[in-house]
Amino acid sequence: MSALEVKGVSKSFPGVKALNGVSMTMQAGSIHALLGENGAGKSTLIKIVTGIYQPDAGEVRMNGSPVRFANLRQSAAGGLGVVHQERNLVTRFSVGENILLDRLGKSALSRVDYPAIWREADKWLKLLELDVDPQTPVTRLSVAQMQLVEIGKALSQQSRVLLMDEPTASLTPNETQVLFRILRKLRDDGVAIGFVSHKLEEVFAICDRVTVLRDGQNACDSADMKGMVRGDVVQMMIGRAERITARAPRPMPSAPPLLELKAYASNLGHRDIDLTIRPGEILGLYGLVGAGRSELAKAILGLARQTGGEVRVAGRPVQITSVAEALHTHGIGYVSEDRKAEGLILMHSVLNNSGITIWTRLAGKLGFLRDRRVEAEVSPVLQRLELKTPSLQQTIDNLSGGNQQKVSCAKWIAAGVKLLIIDEPTVGIDIKTKAYMHDLIHELAAGGTAVLLITSDMPEMIDVADRIAVMDGYRIHGLVENDRNYDRMSKAIMGFIHGREAA
Amino acid sequence: MAQPFALGPTARLFDNDWIGPCIVSLIAILAISWFQPAFLSSFNIFVLSSAIAVNMVIALGQLVIIGIGQMNLALGSIGGLVAISFVGVMEKFGIPVPIALAFALGIGVLMGMASGYIIARTMISAFIITLAGLQIFKGINLGITQAQPFYGVPDGVKAFGQASVLGPLPWLLVPMLLASAGVWYMFNRLRIGRHILALGANPHAAELSGIDPKVTIIWAHAVSGLLAATAGVMLVAKLQIGQPTIGDDWLITSFAAPVIGGAVLSGGRVSVGGTFFGVVIIAVITQALVIFNIDPFAVQIVLGALILWAVGINRLREVRIAKLQSMGAKT
Amino acid sequence: MTGVPRSSQMPATPSRSAVSMRVLLSNEFGLTALIALTAVVFALTLEGFTSPFSLFAMGRQIGIDTMIGLAMMAVIVTGGLDLSVGAIGVCAAMTFGWLAQTKGVPVLPSVVLAVLLGGGLGFINGFAVVKSGVHSFIITLASMSIFFGIMVFLTKAAAYNGLPAEVSAFGKFKFFKTISPLLLISVASCIGLALLYRFTVLGRQMLAAGANARAAELSGIRTGRVIVACHILTGLLAAMAGLLVVARTGAAVPSMAGQLGQDWLLPAFLAPVLGGTLLSGGRVSVLGTLLGATFVNVLTSGLLLMQVGSFWILAILGSMLLAAVFTDRARQVFLKSRGMI
């Protein structure tokens, strides 16, 4: 009898089939890796298991009996502990109260027994070797400490099934080792642990079984990891051997730099940033979550205050104070990593989303604007991007992730920007569109656009970028010319990141 | 590993929400009594305390809803309907005071629960639901009374509203103290209070942690209804009459005092002590305008300005705290 | 058509029945049907409902309520709100009274100055909201108190009763014995606003900033300025609504919108919400607001003719606001379940 079993689960959203007959079997006393590229369906699967989504077909079983949770509260009550990817702490509350937030008392009018809470919470903090008083407000913790509190919260429920979505994203190697020790102990005590991570080294270090998803389907279902090597897993994840597609060698652009940052510092915490991007060049900006990459993009766009150094656009020193200025004066555009919150206006049409950057330019007297004029400008771009939509009036929320991403690029192409900053361009989109996005970036660069590519996806970075700058802790730690040799490049990049840690 | 950074004792004192409003109200009282010693006469203290007592309970009614990150526009209309029902059942049906009181407070709770239930069930913005509630309760109030007051307030109730419990301090302060202590205890010691604040501070996290948002929202509105009802009854005792207009002018005060007291309107951060000093500041300034013979309508201007001032201060403090935090996170 | 290739995997182009279903489920259609139904029932059962004077009075009040609703709608677009519309309306009305009566300024320049004052007050609101980053609720709660307080302070709460004769003549004027110029002014404003949202850059920027301020900002829209513009528009429209009330009563009265102007809040929210304007911003229906105000007034005049007390009508209108948001929610759920939005 397995602790948690997923059988033939399918789930569709408008325009996309997120999961198609997916299965997974988690055994007690085992650490089970759930792998897949961005958009493969991992998070959808976790949301179905925990009751946030309801499956269209298939079933979830715990200890042999079918379960169907209507929401997270029910799944928690049903013995499912989850460490979510996003932070879920009430920052004004104490560490202890956060850990035991759902167990403050039996009824609404129960008195909260704080001494008992501090005692109980302290137990879990000790276990995690987190040297923090449980009475400390969460606001005073570092990001890594918050992450550990989050893990403590899930552990304290003593669930027999524990799902962890990227629990190590903001932990140092030392903290990760502590976590792994605890996970191994829990495993030996018979807990079934699900482990989602992008870091394959960690997966091989701790997991004994693996389920890989690709395009919403099983690439493998609960296979034994014994005897597997990295290459096997990667092949399952991306559907081909890990090989960098042989792109035609690109001539190194020699035009004068379009954007230069010299000893740049921002009020967000960036220090000593030196970067140069030339027209036609693809500069990669690699770093882990929280390294300050998207923040640098936003700082360049004028959303943060420059506190030091120099910014030059086309050779002239500038101070950009708003996105409007970045776009209209300097021709800089930004494709956000968070399509739904920052990239698109989901409730508006394809036409309005792709034309938003050129309204001002197309407006006639008194600011009058006809849809037909916008359409005439936008249609060729959308056609070139092979956008699939029933009509331009379609609400963009109804398009698939890949098509949405095309629109969030199209608006900048239509605006004719000279520098396009692209942040995690392939999160949550299918393999085909992903390859398409990579071609598009190359096409843009070939046409003379400077591209600043931000991604945490190492193969993508090595496939697409010309040069790779490595960022950590809001500083640039190194810059390498990309020779498209995966092993050599990834070693070099990780060397820059870990070199800092060792110091 | 980085240790959490600590605040010094002075910084910790000034980190409290109530300290600012406390200092301001003390300065205001000292300044006014310097110019006008009659300000501290026992009669004036009695009048001032009565106003503070009622306004504090009103402000607490809003504070509970602010804690959860919502707003309650119907507060005044609940208080008004409760007030006329309280006097109405005594005058028309001769019901004894304790039963009438229980009835009045009960319908206050019910009206609050009704709003809360609809908000929790539909998740439509509390603003629009309580705006509708305001009109409905007010309409029922005027429909019943035809805009005429009920005069049948029993002597015991009248005495309660006018008698002093200790020197110049009115009896009305007693329900205020009970309500304040109750709300403080709820927010700091009871599960429901912690859940209200957690839900107000971070609804997503609260729900992921297993807090039931619906139940919590209904509770908050029920408590708010109870406090509005209490204030309505206190006003009946203070005014000696069941006025249908009771509650018409609660809106501004009910928001001004908590905001002056450092409450964050998006929820999760409230201060009972701060709200009390917010109420004191408002009462003192209102009273001062009367004493110095300034047009009473200037009160409106002052109240509005006070809200803006408090909002500005809170904002500055948030920025400062965020700065401290980012420093703490980097060390 | 669009020239964009169609796809087979995408949800198919809505079939004709789905399109007509969408029209049938739209707020505008629902309201029109409701108005027609109520009006026919009242016309058949209530004597005097269709009399020229009743129609004239109804139309005049529809004009006023529409203008109040438009004023609120203009700021709801941003996902915010403006509690001070009533206070702005009264301030504009009293300014007009002071100019036209005390200062002897001709009517038209007085109107223009009063409306501009409304725009100025709206600017103050918008500027404070954008600069402080505090929700418009609390800012306009404060400004409603301040605006109203200053108005009463300056006027000593006295009304302007001796306005030039043409003011009340304008309020009483009838086209074809039934149509008030007040209604025509509001309809014209509706057309103007519809053009603004549909055909101008500013209007589109308002909708974009309201739907998702962050995405709009990152697309190069100066969101702050756009939000200030929305508040200015609200101020202008609120001032016009105030002047319409002056035309109807023939005097500028400080209490015309109740304590602090709070009496306007119900009509201000009722008309747009009935009409399908989204409270969270980003979507408006100008026609819906007009229809919403119409429905409210058809119902109110019918109920008044049925001798229902005006106090109870207040409660009924409050319930209608609830019913409106419930219906809208149910409609959304239905359309979503059918994959139509």
The tokens for C294 are 């119409």
Chain B contact for C178, CB < 8 A? Answer: no
Place of tokens 């361009």: A425
Closest of A155, A157, A161 to residue A129, by C-alpha: A155
Give the model's confidence band at C8: pLDDT under 50 very low, under 70 low, under 90 confident, else very high: very low
Radius of gyration of chain B (CA): 21
> C125, C141, C274: which to substitute to probe chain B, counting the most B Cβ within 10 Å?
C141
In this structure, are residues A261 and A275 in contact, taking their beta carbons and an 8 Å threshold?
Answer: yes
Rounded-to-5 percentages of helix, strand, coil across chain A: 40, 25, 35
Residue A401 burial class via C-beta count within 10 angstroms: exposed 0-12, middle 13-18, buried 19 and up: buried
Say if residue A323's pLDDT is above 90.
Answer: yes
Highest mean pLDDT among A284-293, B36-45, C297-306: C297-306
Structural domain contains residue C31: no
Mean of pLDDT values over A465-493: 86
Say if residue A244's pLDDT is above 50.
Answer: yes
Per-residue DSSP letters for C135-158?
Answer: -HHHHHHHHHHHHHHHHHHHHTT-
Place of tokens 């025509």: C184
Walking along chain B (331 residues) 10 residues at a time, the average pLDDT comes out as 50 72 90 87 92 97 96 96 96 94 97 96 90 94 94 92 89 96 96 95 87 94 98 96 93 92 88 95 87 79 88 78 55 35
Structural domain contains residue C23: no
Chain B contact for C160, CB < 8 A? Answer: no
> A47, A74, A101: which to substitute to probe chain B, counting the most B Cβ within 10 Å?
A101
Q: Searching chain C, which residue's CA lies closest to the CA of residue B266? A: C135
β-strands A161-165, A80-83 pairing: parallel
Which of C14, C222, C283 has its CB closest to that of A322?
C222
Chain C CB contacts of A392 under 8 Å are: 2, 4
Residue B186: which domain range?
38-250+264-269
Give the model's confidence band at A431: pLDDT under 50 very low, under 70 low, under 90 confident, else very high: low
Closest of B145, B151, B144, B155 to residue B96, by C-alpha: B155
Note the pLDDT tens digit of each residue in A168-225: 877 777 888 888 998 998 899 899 999 988 778 888 999 999 999 988 889 888 888 8
Give the model's confidence band at A489: pLDDT under 50 very low, under 70 low, under 90 confident, else very high: confident
Q: Which residues contact A252 (CB under 8 A, 6 or more apart)?
A: A281, A466
In this structure, are residues A244 and A459 in contact, taking their beta carbons and an 8 Å threshold?
Answer: yes
Say if residue C109's pLDDT is above 80.
Answer: yes
In this structure, are residues B218 and B118 in contact, taking their beta carbons and an 8 Å threshold?
Answer: no
Residues of chain A above pLDDT 90, percent: 42
pLDDT at residue number C7: 37
Give the model's confidence band at A327: pLDDT under 50 very low, under 70 low, under 90 confident, else very high: very high
Smallest CA–CA distance, residue A230 to chain B, in Å, is 32
Which of C134, C152, C273 has its CB closest to that of B315?
C134
Chain A CB contacts of C222 under 8 Å are: 322, 324
Chain A CB contacts of C339 under 8 Å are: 14, 398
Give the model's confidence band at C1: pLDDT under 50 very low, under 70 low, under 90 confident, else very high: very low
Residue scoring higher pLDDT (A339 or C222): C222
Say if residue C15's pLDDT is above 80.
Answer: no
What ipTM did this prediction achieve? 0.83
Gap between the Cα atoms of B220 and B213, Å rounded: 11
Say if residue C4's pLDDT is above 60.
Answer: no
Here the contacts of B143-149 (C-beta below 8 Å, separation 24 or greater) are: B143/C309, B143/C311, B143/C312, B143/C315, B144/B84, B144/B88, B145/B84, B145/B88, B145/B244, B146/C309, B146/C311, B147/B244, B147/C311, B148/B244, B149/B84, B149/B241, B149/B242, B149/B243, B149/B244
pLDDT at residue number C330: 83
Is B315 close to C132, i.e. CB distance below 8 A? yes
β-strands A419-423, A450-454 pairing: parallel
Chain A CB contacts of B211 under 8 Å are: 73, 101-102
Is C279 close to B128, i.e. CB distance below 8 A? yes
Compute the residue count for chain B: 331
Give the model's confidence band at C24: pLDDT under 50 very low, under 70 low, under 90 confident, else very high: low
Gap between the Cα atoms of B174 and C228, Å rounded: 47
Which of C3, C208, C341 has its CB closest to that of A345?
C208
In this structure, are residues A468 and A461 in contact, taking their beta carbons and an 8 Å threshold?
Answer: yes
Note the pLDDT tens digit of each residue in C195-207: 999 999 999 999 9
Structural domain contains residue B7: no
Which of A15, A334, A345 has its CB closest to that of C216?
A345
Q: Searching chain A, which residue's CA lies closest to the CA of residue B195? A: A101
Burial C317-332 (b: 16+ CB within 10 A, else e): bbebbbebbeebeebe
Say if residue A249's pLDDT is above 70.
Answer: no
What are the distances in angstroms from CA B184 to CA A53, A480, B150, B152, B229?
38, 59, 34, 35, 18
> Which chains reach chain C with 3 or more Cβ–Cβ distances below 8 angstroms?
A, B
Smallest CA–CA distance, residue C142 to chain B, in Å, is 4
Question: How many domains, in total, are found in chain B?
Answer: 1
Query: What is the four-CA torsion angle of B306, B308, B309, B310, rounded to 10 degrees?
Result: 90
Query: What is the four-CA torsion angle of B251, B255, B256, B260, rounded to 10 degrees?
Result: 170
Structural domain contains residue B181: yes
- Whole-number average pLDDT of chain A: 87
pLDDT at residue number C238: 98
Gap between the Cα atoms of C245 and C260, Å rounded: 16
Structural domain contains residue C325: yes
Give the model's confidence band at C299: pLDDT under 50 very low, under 70 low, under 90 confident, else very high: very high
Give the phi and the psi of residue A135 in degrees, each rounded to 5. -85, -5
Angle, helices B42-67 vs B250-260, to 10°: value is 80
How crowded is the C-beta side of C63, counted as CA atoms within 13 Å? 26
pLDDT at residue number C3: 40
β-strands A332-335, A316-317 pairing: unpaired
Q: Searching chain B, which residue's CA lies closest to the CA of residue C153? A: B297
Collapsing DSSP states into helix, strand and coil, what is residue A178?
helix
Is B138 close to C146, i.e. CB distance below 8 A? no
Structural domain contains residue C125: yes
* Sheet containing A316-317: order of strands: A273-277, A259-266, A306-313, A316-317
What are the distances in angstroms from CA A213 to CA A6, B260, C135, C164?
13, 54, 43, 79
Collapsing DSSP states into helix, strand and coil, what is residue A251?
coil
Give the model's confidence band at C11: pLDDT under 50 very low, under 70 low, under 90 confident, else very high: very low
Is C128 close to B308, i.e. CB distance below 8 A? yes
Q: How many contacts (CB atoms, under 8 Å) link B and C? A: 131
Q: How many CB atoms are located within 10 Å of the residue B226 CB?
A: 26
β-strands A217-224, A209-214 pairing: antiparallel
Gap between the Cα atoms of C63 and C56, Å rounded: 11
Q: Searching chain C, which residue's CA lies closest to the CA of residue A327? A: C220
Gap between the Cα atoms of A465 and B201, Å rounded: 41
Any idea which of A20-29, A56-65, C5-14, C145-154 has the lowest mean pLDDT? Answer: C5-14
Gap between the Cα atoms of C103 and A496, Å rounded: 77
The tokens for A349 are 């049409």
Which of C137, C157, C329 has its CB closest to that of B124?
C329
Structural domain contains residue B302: no
Say if residue A242's pLDDT is above 60.
Answer: no
Collapsing DSSP states into helix, strand and coil, what is residue B257?
helix
Gap between the Cα atoms of A347 and A331, Å rounded: 27
Q: Which domains does chain A have, with CATH numbers?
A: 4-238 (3.40.50.300), 256-331+417-503 (3.40.50.300), 345-416 (no CATH)
Structural domain contains residue C247: yes
Any idea which of A319-328, A374-383, B228-237, B315-324 has the lowest mean pLDDT? Answer: B315-324
How crowded is the C-beta side of C309, counted as CA atoms within 13 Å? 12
Question: How many domains, in total, are found in chain C?
Answer: 1
Residue C295: which domain range?
51-337
Chain B CB contacts of C318 under 8 Å are: 131-136, 138-139
Is A352 close to C208, i.e. CB distance below 8 A? yes
Say if residue A51's pLDDT is above 60.
Answer: yes
Which of B118, B139, B299 has its CB closest to that of C311?
B139
Domain holding C114: CATH number? 1.10.3470
Is B143 close to C315, i.e. CB distance below 8 A? yes
Structural domain contains residue B92: yes
C-alpha B30: how far from chain center = 25
Give the model's confidence band at A241: pLDDT under 50 very low, under 70 low, under 90 confident, else very high: low
Closest of B228, B223, B56 to residue B138, by C-alpha: B228
> Which chains reach chain A with 3 or more Cβ–Cβ distances below 8 angstroms?
B, C
pLDDT at residue number A458: 80
Q: Searching chain A, which residue's CA lies closest to the CA of residue B200? A: A90
Q: Searching chain A, which residue's CA lies closest to the CA of residue B5? A: A140
Which of B1, B190, B209 has its CB closest to that of A110?
B190
Is B328 close to A97, i.e. CB distance below 8 A? no
The tokens for B153 are 């307030």
Indicate the residue type of C126.
G
Chain B contact for C243, CB < 8 A? Answer: no
Chain B CB contacts of C321 under 8 Å are: 128, 131-132, 135
Q: How many contacts (CB atoms, under 8 Å) link A and C? A: 117
Radius of gyration of chain A (CA): 24
CB within 8 Å of chain A, chain C residues 268-297? 282-283
Q: Which residues contact A144 (CB under 8 A, 6 or more apart)?
A: A170, A171, A172, A175
